[in-house]
Structure 1
Amino acid sequence: MDIKSKHIRFDCTDAVTTDIASDLDKLLSKTNNIREAYKQNPLPLFTQLDKTDDLSAMQVLGETIRKDAQRIVVLGTGGSSLGAQVLVQINGWGTPASGMVQAAGPEMIFADNLDGQSFERLLDEAQLANTKFIVVSKSGGTAETMMQLSCVLTALEKAGLNAPAHVSGIAGSGSNTLRDVADRAGFPLLPHADGIGGRFAVLTNVGLLPALLMGVDLVSVREGAFEALTSFMEAPVDEIPAAIGAAMQIAHAGKNRNISVLMPYTDRLERLGFWYRQLWAESLGKDGQGTCPVNALGPVDQHSQVQLYLGGPDDKIYNLVTAKNQSLGPKALAAACDIPELSWLQGRHIGELVAAEATATYTALKENARPVRLIEMDDVTGHSVGYILMHFMLETIIAAGLMGIDAFDQPAVEQGKIIAKKLMAESSN
């Protein structure tokens, strides 16, 4: 199974092992019923892709945020942050060369984990005057995010700075805590799209507003996502990469391959692995079901994970992601390194070695009879990343349908939130 879209190739040939072939066919046939159900009742995730009215509101708020900003700090956790990180990484954020991105505009920081010492440093009074904060919470009451916001407002007040000039955000509609705080403090909020949960919200303002501020082409992102959606809605099921991927993953789970490894071979897709990890785990880990998503990065994790992948238990399916046309980077020509031991590197680009190592990992997995899927992008662009984001959301939604579970709730997460709030309330009495 080797399918090429406009900018991405999905090669599942070596992921369809003989022991899952019959199960795969049965599961694929079931995906057509899942697809027809969503044709009859499209998700808001699908219907918002061809909208443009929300883009103008983002652009207006973006101009306000950029004004006098040297730092932009995004307050949000999980789906309120990870998708945006994937999109801004298209232009180099979060890579070793991220300083070049910052030189062209404000520094962007995602405060997605709660840590007292780290956040105290972010609120250094000497930098507050040139810092803008974007607070994101669909529920309007996420504990970690509201704690951060409360500390930001406290720090701004202490520094004599006006909250509306430094804070803006995105919140769900209706009455919620974040909207109440914003009304009291006077800072603006954009509406979080109704009916789209946080981990599926990357193609809404949740992901697109930070991407806009980092110079990403938002229209291109949505066009790529729409291409993936069109394939899902119109192509035969055995030609839909997301349907094949979902059926393949569930079939392998039935053979006790309960770990799904996503391993990009480019720095600019490193955050994709973290976004995928939340999407797959939180959507499918229910009713005693689900498989464990693992994120890796090539080539670096060839030195920390591939020994296990090749020599350890056959309990994983591997998804390698490459970008064949990305910059090859510098060339090795130094006279001091012109020695026999390095003759195979002389005159070669870094990108050539990355490509060779990706091919080597793929080949080694195949030769060790480990199921491996290759996802080959032409390059890391707004269009290709938009496509791959929609692809994995569709793959997750289809997998949930095959498993007979709701992809869109997270009861175990909510249970933890309730316990944490109770503990805080009890300790304050």
Structure 2
Amino acid sequence: MSDNVLDWTSAYPEKVSPSAGQARLGAFVERLAADLSGPEGGRLPFINLPHWPALKRDLAALAPRLKGFKHMLLLGIGGSALGARALQKAFAPGQDLPGHQGPWLWIADNVDSGSLMAYFTKLDPAETVVVAVSKSGGTIETASQYFLACRWLREALGDSWKDHLIMVTGEDGFFRKESARHGFTTLPVPTYMGGRYSVLSAVGLIPAAFLGIDCEALVEGALSVTKPLTETILSPKILAAHPAWELACWNWSIIDSGFTQLIFFCYVPRLATLGAWFGQLWAESLGKEGKGSMPLPAVGVTDQHSLQQMFLDGPRDKGCLFITSREEDPGTAFPDDLPAEFGFLRGKMLGELLPAEALGSRMAMTQRGIPLVEASLASCTEHECGRLMALLELSTLFTGWLLSIDPLDQPAVELGKRLAKARLGADGLAKEKADLAQFLSAQRRTTGF
């Protein structure tokens, strides 16, 4: 049983009326049951994680091999990278601190020639395992990195290069064909698991296992949140009592009341990078048909000095999900010989500063009428992080349903990908090439600066 809590005290200021989502509970219970049915968890494998037993065995078998490498170079973008980075920053933060002796995880998550060439120049191929992650295998950014990584490994290692490459991909597509051709070790992405929901699949858990993160605790934490929806005969009463449903109803209420942006304000330093992961989850799931709200990841206390002026005194269009932890890290004591103006710090510990700042920020936002829900974690462990991730995934799903959109697809993202391929001369794409020609031939209006 977890001591994590959601605090609703400031959730519904005067401008926000609670939603009428309860009237749709029956339909959503039927929808959830239908979408969970079928092999591999149906359309929602991120809820009951049916792939975990097999993946647990695969990770155990891979463990001795992974321990033979000092470096892991992860090739992936979006959901193929954001979850892994969040877990690294939270539970293997030593890489960012002085004196780290390894292992090292390097994430190539952009088309950045300088960084990629630095990896190839500075890393020892003999000590490096490359993990290429793409469910479709057709992601141009990751595929292009893969081609160059293969050359790098082949030229340095000869016939053994294939032992230094692992693929995480779907059942079909280019990467699956490459895996069969070369005999790479390959782990699957469940068929209906989109990238932004895939952190607790091989996508996020291979790098986590390499870093020594407790993958089982992450999964068990997530399942402790989702099991009430999967291990009983689901009813409207059970769904209504679930915190993810209540959070979704709040999200729907503030969107309906004109709050078109959602601040993800994280006052748990180790989980700060979770904001970027949540940003993709929320934006790609809900930004459809002119609906949704814009996620605004923010880090406490850093962004009290960069963004909070806008939060408190800008347009009244923002709600806030406020993340804290009650785990105490006292840190070091302040010295006694402080200047008079800082005398109030005498006898206090550095660890007292963060919760005081969090309280001040939360109260200030509440006083300005910002709808705010605080998610307070009992501790910052893999188990509690898994619980938080599952809560956020479920509430995103339910918010999409309340908005009458499909939170599992991302149709608009594909347009930019097709136009990029058209620009590079890919076969077909006649309409995109015609649109490009028209766009590039338009009269430009420019101003120097």
TM-score normalised per structure 1: 0.91
Equivalent of residue 258 in structure 2, options 256, 259, 265: 256
Tell me the equivalent position of 2:171.
173
Ranges of 4+ aligned residues in structure 1 off by more than 6 Å:
none
AA at the equivalent of 2:217 = S
Distance 1:46 1:370, change over 3 A: closer
Q: CA deviation at 1:125?
A: 5.9
Q: CA deviation at 1:282?
A: 0.5
Q: CA deviation at 1:129?
A: 2.4
Tell me the equivalent position of 1:63.
64
Tell me the equivalent position of 1:119.
116
AA at the equivalent of 2:13 = T
Tell me the equivalent position of 2:9.
13
Tell me the equivalent position of 2:187.
190
Q: CA deviation at 1:113?
A: 1.6
Distance 1:151 1:51, change over 3 A: closer
AA at the equivalent of 1:245 = L
Q: Give the Cα separation in 2 of the matches to 1:326 and 1:110.
A: 31
Equivalent of residue 266 in structure 1, options 265, 268, 280: 268
Q: Deviations over 1:11-56 (max 9, x none)?
A: 12201123333x42x1244245323421344122223258422211
Q: Is the 8 A contact 2:52 2:201 kept in 1?
A: no
Equivalent of residue 27 in structure 2, options 26, 33, 37: 33
Q: CA deviation at 1:77?
A: 0.7
AA at the equivalent of 1:56 = R
Q: Give the Cα separation in 2 of the matches to 1:17 and 1:126.
A: 53
1:211 aligns with 2:211: no
Structure 1 unmatched ranges of 5 or more? none
Distance 1:53 1:359, change over 3 A: same
AA at the equivalent of 1:200 = Y
Distance 1:292 1:321, change over 3 A: same
AA at the equivalent of 1:16 = Y
TM-score normalised per structure 2: 0.87
Q: Deviations over 1:320-347 (max 9, x none)?
A: 10111142222222x5x42212222223
Q: Give the Cα separation in 1 of the matches to 2:128 and 2:347.
A: 45
Tell me the equivalent position of 1:328.
330
Secondary structure in structure 1 of the residue aligned to 2:299 = coil
Q: Give the Cα separation in 1 of the matches to 2:106 and 2:344.
A: 40
Aligned residues: 414
Q: Is the 8 A contact 1:72 1:108 kept in 2?
A: yes
Q: Give the Cα separation in 2 of the matches to 1:326 and 1:221.
A: 21
Q: Give the Cα separation in 2 of the matches to 1:49 and 1:359.
A: 40
Secondary structure in structure 2 of the residue aligned to 1:248 = helix
Distance 1:31 1:292, change over 3 A: farther
AA at the equivalent of 1:257 = F
Q: CA RMSD in A?
A: 2.1
AA at the equivalent of 1:350 = L
Q: Is the 8 A contact 2:125 2:157 kept in 1?
A: no
Secondary structure in structure 2 of the residue aligned to 1:295 = strand
Secondary structure in structure 1 of the residue aligned to 2:136 = coil
Structure 2 unmatched ranges of 5 or more? 37-43, 428-449
Q: Give the Cα separation in 2 of the matches to 1:278 and 1:311.
A: 26
Q: Is the 8 A contact 2:22 2:240 kept in 1?
A: yes
Matches within 5 A, 1:270-349: 270-333=272-335, 337-349=337-349
Q: Give the Cα separation in 2 of the matches to 1:261 and 1:32.
A: 30
